[in-house]
Structure 1
């Protein structure tokens, strides 16, 4: 029987996203780097202006501005897959005092899912 669904791909995608989640919670870019393509990008809006660029800015921020946060919680809220392309939403609370929503785009290359872009929204504290 053929595999008409994306069960296996879903598991591989969530594994990649959990590398990101674990890296955020542990404030370690080394944990999350394997989930990203070298040419990946990250963008968001900071003070009303477009901010971002190469994914290295995420890694630098995780290593310098974040601290390990055992209270950090993340949920993979959505994953959409079609062929070799996927998108996902991750909501994170209490990561170094931040709450944010990330949207990821992933591509399946040589059987592996890799994050090629991330956009984010940082939620305001009440």
Structure 2
């Protein structure tokens, strides 16, 4: 029995993740929205150590308003993609997105032949 390869799936997932990256750089949720399921969620832990987040619309609202602004100098790297069948997880590290640095963790599912982000959790790094 041969081991499965996921090259085409990896390429499709990175295209989805690049929509997120480009939306962050341009501070435009309209660019990243197609990457997410309408039911997607986003969560993090705030500076007080409390859980914060909810529907992905909260991300879109934040991206389209201050303090977020276009950040053409922002740098992001897709650090990891792990795929098994129709499920995947990925990590993106980003620096200088509107002056913030993040580590984002995504869960994706392949629904009706298309990869979509169903959840995001993230960590905001302390500015140097």
TM-score normalised to structure 1 length: 0.96
Moved over 3 A (4+): none
Number of the residue aligned with 2:85:
83
Correspondence 1:49 to 2:43 = no
Structure 1 residue 4: Cα displacement: 2.9
Number of the residue aligned with 1:111:
113
CA RMSD of aligned residues (A): 1.2
Structure 1 residue 6: Cα displacement: 0.3
Structure 1 residues 65-101: Cα deviation after superposition (integer angstroms, max 9, x where no partner): 2100110010000000000000000000001000000
Number of the residue aligned with 1:58:
59
Number of the residue aligned with 1:95:
97
Correspondence 1:22 to 2:22 = yes
Number of the residue aligned with 1:6:
6
TM-score normalised to structure 2 length: 0.95
Q: Which runs of 5+ in 1 are unaligned?
A: none
What CA distance in whole angstroms lies between the structure 2 residues aligned with 1:42 and 1:3?
Answer: 33
